[in-house]
A and B are shown apart, each in its own frame.
Chain A
């Protein structure tokens, strides 16, 4: 028994407890029920509802279990007449102002107030006076308010302060007039706002998109994994009539604790968009016609065999969304490689592949997600985790609250929901030079032998105070990390960034890692959805074309898995041109869009998200499997089944799987002994570009435009986290160019001219133009990064 272990007695039985624990933690841990409203294990203790009153021996009055620290020898009764009397009295008070409108309340059936009123409420109310009524405010497209039902537990308020890091809701007024709200009409802008729906013990905060569409007891619950970022938050699908009605978090302390991002919560709406593809389709003489699967498979066989015979298998390219499952990607690469084609890739957000041979097995975080919160210092490069990987950001925020220094090398001065320390905000072309300057400082102080080449490289750059600060803080911290984000990976000099970031990590003994990527970027690398590596990262003698060169080469045929290349790929225009020129495009897709209709020749409808089954691997390297929660629409099939039949149709060996688990098991056999690990160094960049005053375009990723599913989720599309199709530039640069927001500007990039709205965005450094990824009005401009000009129209 360690020193801080004590013994208390609850309801006549002894229990061990730790000093400093609150009584409710001990009773919860031992399955002793104590009623509560305001207490939540992931929030601070407010002790304002008093529902958890219990009897404590020698205490002169009942004590709140959530705010009473345990003491050795304490004797507690949770169910004595005295305790129950106190609990019942509190219940009566809580119900005084509650409207008791359960029949028209969405929370009915899963309401903590309703449940506890059953146990502790009186049959008849003694309250004869008038009840208070609270005017509702519109707080945005996601959360519905019915504030008359609020019992002032302040869970939602504490969540804002403590977890979301944005104080948006508060308790205004006093006494009878106190109410929870935003005071002014205002949409919540936290990317985690939906969690207050789960936290609210009553029906004051409910889901707006779900509203009035099902009762909790009508729905069945299925496990799932959220598919929008590299974290793989655990979720539950709530299903009624074979339709996903809503998504809520499933607890997993190691990954998402008890939270999920709004994107993970509300993206299910995208399953039911009008443009779902319901049956296989074939284009003949420019006309689409619905066909049966058999015909579709036969046609694919004929077309591909013809192309292989005339042009060769290496004139086919296969591209898959990094959200596809391991099983799908494994079969895709198995099929392509079987046909003799090595042009397979999922790295659609990347353009610089020069160091791919020395790249790590997969973009690995380098540490468990949960351990991020123990960091003392971290340098984030080309990253905005708050909107890219919200649950990783949540861990970093916890680290900051404990005093960690989060430092930034970015091209946009993003708004974080915690204090950040030093930041270097520079135009994208200068990012590598910024890192080189930090390396230079580190080399000055610690004369490590790094080779003449590195010294020559870093001698090109000037060191400034911020570089010294960052280097100093990283070097002196206890636990530290250097982490790359999505923009770093998409950067045209990604290999230089990686090399220098890795060098900084080595020199400071920091963990080097990636917090980039999508739901299954890691899995895609592991199962060989890469042109230069096969399953388990084994190098191949036949390196194929990468995601960019596949389009540059204008191949004869393309096989696409769940992609909208014009929106998803690094150069949407390049992709579109190549697809339009190809003689055969086979798209496995859940959606039929005008673009797909234009460039594709054969469409195969596939199951999506909750309809699908398989497994994905997160940035930490954890593989999580999931089963389908609903039947897929129309004639669509899970892509693994489509690929299985394709494999057999094309006479490939080893495609006789009966269940998805057989593929999973086969993979497990090959991947089990694989350790993530990061390879050495990388590739030394030749020269570093410095700011030359020319206008540079960059791109970043709006969380609710990140993939095909979320782009179709209507409530999320009303939030501010969507691609806006505007040209962002800072005030000074706009003035210099003589352009203003009053009229559209003429944007020229890559030989294309477009008229787009202008937005003054002072988060940007000079001479930097930001255009969001995945906006239909912008992809014609081509590359996500590069030279650009702006003129008045």
Chain B
């Protein structure tokens, strides 16, 4: 059973996980779990399914619940289907002082969804960002698909979002 689930991982994912495994002591291959899930999530339109998490667990010899714990703990791992482009607006202290609340409001209004939701056409997802994204000097800021946009204004946001497919 373990074997058949492990097969669900793509060749690329397995290669990538194997590469990460070599970075850790041989008896601690579960250390590669975060990297593994990042790869797998990336290949699966930005979110993890139970089957995929089970496959990662089998591949790394971990209990499935241990993988679920990790996936549900880290905010960069998604366990539900989400829109193609993941938007994180920092609302931590520096950004908040620089008006991040209005930025969030503007995006929500523009996309007609609330934070934590995806647009019905599957294009955008506004993620609930938990932490400071470490670009405090450029607040307000947001991150879309791992790319930072700083010193935001409403106009800039329209331009950035309109350019994404």
Q: Tell me the chain A residues, 160-183 only, with Cβ under 8 Å from chain B.
A: 166-174, 182-183
State whether B69 touches A170 (Cβ < 8 A).
yes
| A172 neighbours in B (Cβ, 8 Å) | 65, 68-69, 72-73
A167 near B65: Cβ-Cβ < 8 Å: yes
Q: B97 an interface residue at 8 Å Cβ cutoff?
A: no
B79 to A: closest C-beta gap in Å: 9
Say how far B55's CB is from chain A's closest CB, in angstroms. Answer: 14
A59 touches B (CB below 8 Å): no
Interface size class, chain A: 10 to 19
| In the bound complex, CA of A692 to CA of B22 (Å) | 46
Q: Is A254 close to B, CB under 8 A?
A: no
A653 interface contact, C-beta 8 A: no
Chain A: which residue is nearest B75 at the CB level? A174
Chain A hits for B66, CB < 8 A: 167, 170
Specify the chain A residue showing the minimal Cβ separation from B53: A183
Decide if A81 is an interface residue (CB 8 Å cutoff). Answer: no
Whose C-beta in chain B lies nearest to the C-beta of A172? B72
Q: Which residues of A contact B64 (CB under 8 A)?
A: 183-184
Q: Tell whether, in the assembled complex, residue A170 and residue B73 are in contact, meaning their CB atoms are under 8 Å apart.
A: no
Interface core residue of B50, B65, B73 (most chain A CB under 10 Å): B65
Contact B65 A183 (CB under 8 A): yes
Whether the pair A174, B63 counts as a contact (CB closer than 8 A) is no
The residue in chain A whose Cβ has the minimal distance to the Cβ of B62 is: A167
Give chain A interface residues in 174-201, CB to chain B under 8 Å: 174, 182-184
Residue on A nearest B73 in the bound complex, by CB: A174
Asked whether A182 lies within 8 Å of B73 as measured between CB atoms, the reply is no
**Which of A166, A171, A184 meets B69, CB within 8 Å?**
A171
B63-89 toward A: CB 8 Å interface, digit per residue (1/0)?
111101100110100000000000000
Distance in angstroms from B73 CB to nearest chain A CB is 5
Measured between beta carbons, the chain B residues less than 8 angstroms from A169 are: 65
Minimum distance in angstroms from B69 CB to a CB of chain A: 4
- Tell whether, in the assembled complex, residue A173 and residue B72 are in contact, meaning their CB atoms are under 8 Å apart: yes
Q: How far is the CA of A174 from the CA of B74 in the complex (A)?
A: 8
Residue among B63, B72, B73 making CB contact with A167, cutoff 8 Å: B63
* Cα-based distance from A184 to B64 in the complex (angstroms): 10
**Contact between A174 and B68, CB atoms less than 8 A apart:** no
Residues of A within 8 A of B50 (CB): 183-184
Q: Which B residues touch A167, using CB under 8 A?
A: 63, 65-66
Checking B68, B73, B75 against A184 with a beta-carbon cut-off of 8 angstroms, the contacting residue is: B68
**Docked pose: A166 CA to B63 CA in angstroms:** 8
In residues 186-227 of chain A, which contact B (Cβ within 8 Å)? Answer: none
Q: How many A-B residue pairs have CB under 8 A?
A: 33
Q: Which A residues are in CB contact (< 8 Å) with B73?
A: 172-174
Q: How far is the CA of A208 from the CA of B154 in the complex (A)?
A: 56
In the bound complex, CA of A698 to CA of B78 (Å): 48
Q: How far is the CA of A182 from the CA of B75 in the complex (A)?
A: 19
| B72, A174: Cβ atoms closer than 8 Å | yes
Inter-chain contact B63/A183, CB cutoff 8 Å: no
Nearest CB of chain A from residue B76's CB, rounded to whole Å:
12
Chain A residue at smallest Cβ distance from B69: A170
Chain A residues with Cβ below 8 Å from B68 are 170, 172, 183-184
Chain A residues, Cβ within 8 Å of B75: 174
Q: Quote the shortest CB–CB distance from A345 to chain B (angstroms).
A: 42
CB distance from B131 to the nearest CB of A (A): 11
> Does A182 lie within 8 Å of B72, measured CB to CB?
no
Q: Which residue of B lies closest to A161 (CB)?
A: B63
B38 to chain A, nearest CB (A): 18
Most chain A beta-carbon contacts within 10 A, residue among B63, B66, B69, B75: B69
CB distance from B64 to the nearest CB of A (A): 8
Minimum CB–CB distance for A558 against chain B, Å: 46
Which B residues between 7 and 26 are near A, CB-CB below 8 angstroms?
none
Chain A nearest CB: distance from B48 CB in Å?
12
**Shortest beta-carbon distance, B145 to chain A, in Å?**
23
Which residues of chain A are within 8 angstroms of B63 by Cβ–Cβ distance? 166-168, 170
**Across the interface, which residues of B come within 8 angstroms of A183, CB to CB?**
50, 64-65, 68-69, 72
Contact in complex: B65, A168 (CB < 8 Å): yes
Chain A residues with CB under 8 A of B65: 167-170, 172, 182-183
Give A183's nearest chain B residue, CB to CB.
B68
| Alpha-carbon distance between A169 and B66 when the two chains are bound, in angstroms | 9
Residue in chain B with minimal CB distance to A184: B50
Nearest A residue to B66, CB-CB: A167
Complex CA gap A167/B62 in Å reads 9
Shortest Cβ gap from A328 to chain B (Å) = 45
Cα–Cα distance between A184 and B66 once the two chains are bound (Å):
12
CA–CA, A168 and B66, complex, Å: 9
- Complex Cα distance, B66 from A166, in Å, reads 11
Chain A nearest Cβ from B138, distance in angstroms? 27
Taken together as a complex, chains A and B put the C-alpha atoms of A624 and B9 apart, in Å, by 55
Chain A CB within 10 A, most for which of B50, B72, B75: B72
Cα-based distance from A171 to B66 in the complex (angstroms): 9
**Complex-state Cα separation, A167 to B73, whole angstroms:** 17
For B1, give the chain A residue with the smallest CB separation: A762
Q: How far does the alpha carbon of A173 sit from the alpha carbon of B65 in the complex, in Å?
A: 12
Select from chain A the residue with minimum beta-carbon distance to B68. A183
Smallest beta-carbon distance A324→chain B, Å: 41
Point out the residues of chain B lying under 8 angstroms from A182, CB to CB: 65
CA gap between A628 and B25 in the complex, in Å: 57
Considering the chains assembled together, what is the distance between the CA atoms of A104 and B25 in angstroms? 51
Shortest C-beta distance, A589 to chain B (Å), equals 42
Give the nearest-CB partner of A173 in chain B.
B72
**What is the CB-to-nearest-CB distance from A137 to chain B, in angstroms, rounded to a whole number?**
12
Which residues from chain B contact A168 at a C-beta distance below 8 Å? 63, 65
Q: How far is the CB of A17 from chain B (nearest CB, A)?
A: 35
Closest chain A CB from B119 CB (angstroms) = 24
Interface-central residue, A166, A171, A183, A184, by most chain B CB under 10 Å = A183
Q: How far is the CA of A182 from the CA of B73 in the complex (A)?
A: 14
Min CB gap B36→A, angstroms: 17
Give complex CA distance A166, B68 in Å.
Answer: 15
A77-91: which residues lie under 8 A (CB-CB) from chain B?
none
Distance A182 CA – B63 CA, assembled complex (angstroms): 11
Least distance between A438 CB and chain B CB atoms (Å): 29
Docked CA distance A171–B69 (Å): 6
Give chain A nearest CB distance to B63 CB in angstroms: 3
Closest to A762 in B: B1
A173 CA to B73 CA in the complex, in Å? 5
Closest-CB distance, B127 to chain A (whole angstroms): 15
For residue B54, give the distance in angstroms from its CB to the closest CB of chain A. Answer: 9
Nearest CB on B from A175, distance (A): 8
How distant is the Cα of A692 from the Cα of B50 in the complex, in angstroms? 45
How far is it, in angstroms, between the C-alpha of A168 and the C-alpha of B64 when the chains are bound?
Answer: 8
Measured in the bound complex, the distance between the Cα atoms of B70 and A174 in whole Å is 10
Chain A residue, CB-CB nearest to B50: A184
Q: How near does chain B come to A477, taking the closest CB pair, in angstroms?
A: 22
Which A residues are in CB contact (< 8 Å) with B72? 172-174, 183
Of all chain B residues, which has the CB nearest A168?
A: B65
For the complex, give the distance between the alpha carbons of A439 and B73 in Å.
Answer: 53
In the assembly, what is the distance between CA of A182 and CA of B66, in Å?
Answer: 10
Residue-wise, chain B 11-51 has the 8 Å CB interface mask toward A (1 for contact) of: 00000000000000000000000000000000000000010
A173 CA to B68 CA, complexed, in Å = 9
Residues from chain B with a CB closer than 8 A to the CB of A184 are 50, 64, 68
B141 to chain A, nearest CB (A): 23
The smallest beta-carbon distance between B71 and chain A, in angstroms, is 8
Cross-chain pairs A/B with CB under 8 angstroms, 18 sampled: A167-B63, A168-B65, A169-B65, A170-B65, A170-B66, A170-B69, A172-B65, A172-B69, A172-B72, A173-B72, A174-B72, A174-B75, A183-B50, A183-B64, A183-B65, A183-B68, A183-B72, A184-B50
User: In the complex, given contacts A183-B65, A184-B50, A184-B64, what are 8 additional A-B residue pairs having Cβ atoms less than 8 angstroms apart?
Assistant: A167-B63, A170-B69, A173-B72, A174-B72, A174-B75, A182-B65, A183-B64, A183-B69
A-B residue pairs, 4 tightest by C-beta: A167-B63, A183-B68, A170-B65, A172-B72
